[in-house]
Amino acid sequence: MPHAHAHHPHPSRTAALNRAFAWGIVLNVAFVAAECVAGLWYGSIGLLSDAGHNLSDVAGLVLALVAFRLARRRPTARYTYGYKKSTVLISLLNSLLLLLAAGAIVVESILRLRHPVPVVGAAVAWTAGAGVAINGFTAWLFMKERRHDLNVRGAYLHMAADALVSAGVVISGVVIGRTGWTPADPIAGLVVAAVIVASGWSLLRDSLRLALDGVPAGIDPGRIEALIAAEEGVAAVHHLHVWAVSTTENALTVHVAVGDLPRLETIRRRLRERLREEGVAHATFEFETAGAPCTGCGEGDE
């Protein structure tokens, strides 16, 4: 996964993302309703499971939109970083919702395998075919910004996966229509569940790491430390910590021992520029003179 990095969309890009979320939510709510009606009418677990998955994605889109807007609220005296961390928490919640949806689909599919019911294959295929178009279009709306935000990336991956899943349901509908082999329908449901687990687990892993202030994916602390140590005038580097402020911004604190005090401001400026290039937007340095005892280096502060 591309690492989260400082990315502040231009107002026109922010408006474009707002429109993308709005279109995605409206289109998918309409499709979920149509898929539920068709699934109940024709008795298709494949359609109902796909509708359940799409419903969880609608919830995910709504949550991602909430996070997107909260992240842009100004900091307060109580929340000095603003509400940026909400993007991580919402991404974590979204991944859990996906895995719960997958569990429900697996249970229902197994029950349908044990107790098969007739399914109208053509109706299933046509309904799911509409899903390929809607989910594919929604994924396209998030394509440009997917590299800059874990929540937008999650929305893109879910929609792209949904398009593939709907394609699988189309195939099951064609199989049933031509052969009458009804187990193809619950098998399609199990395939849906497998895709959800794969994407949900990846999102859960990445979100949990950020929620626990782990080093964001794509950030190499060793490389960062070497970069700082290589700066002219820096004598030593220690107590380096990197974590995510949000799904788009990373922060760093580090102790830097300098041997050339008159160049301290130059060193500070150059380090900030280099760290921005590495995806770290917020850098806090504690400078020390070379050879002096480390201040604030108490036991357990490693």
**Per-10-residue mean pLDDT, the chain, length 302:** 46 72 88 85 74 77 83 85 86 82 82 76 76 87 75 78 77 80 82 81 87 88 92 89 89 90 88 91 87 58 48
Both 89 and 118 in one domain: the answer is yes
Q: How many domains does the chain have?
A: 2
How many residues are given for the chain? 302
Based on the fold, state whether residues 60 and 138 are members of the same structural domain: yes
Which tokens belong to 117?
A: 């019911």
Specify the pairing of strand 250-258 against strand 234-244.
Answer: antiparallel
Domain-embedded: residue 55: yes
pLDDT at position 182 is 79
Same structural domain, 285 and 171: no
Do both 32 and 173 map to the same domain? yes
User: Is residue 216 one of the residues assigned to a domain?
Assistant: no
| CATH number of 272's domain | 3.30.70.1350
**Tokens 């401001």 — which residue?**
265
pLDDT at position 68 is 79
| 228 and 107 share one domain | no
Q: Are residues 50 and 109 in the same domain?
A: yes
Residue 301 domain-assigned? no
Same domain, 206 and 91: yes
The answer to whether residues 242 and 116 belong to one domain is no
pLDDT at 1: 40
Domain boundary among 186, 211, 236: 211
Closest to 207 measured CA to CA, from 6, 8, 22, 60: 60
Same domain, 152 and 105: yes
DSSP symbols for 157-192: HHHHHHHHHHHHHHHHHHHHHHH--TTHHHHHHHHH
Q: Among 193, 211, 229, which residue terminates a domain?
A: 211
Q: Is the pTM of this model over 0.85?
A: no
Q: Can you tell me which residue has the tokens 């357990």? A: 300
Range of the domain at 43: 11-211
- Is position 181 within any domain? yes
Secondary structure class of 244 (helix, strand, coil): strand
Cα dihedral angle (22, 25, 27, 31), rounded to 10 degrees?
Answer: -170
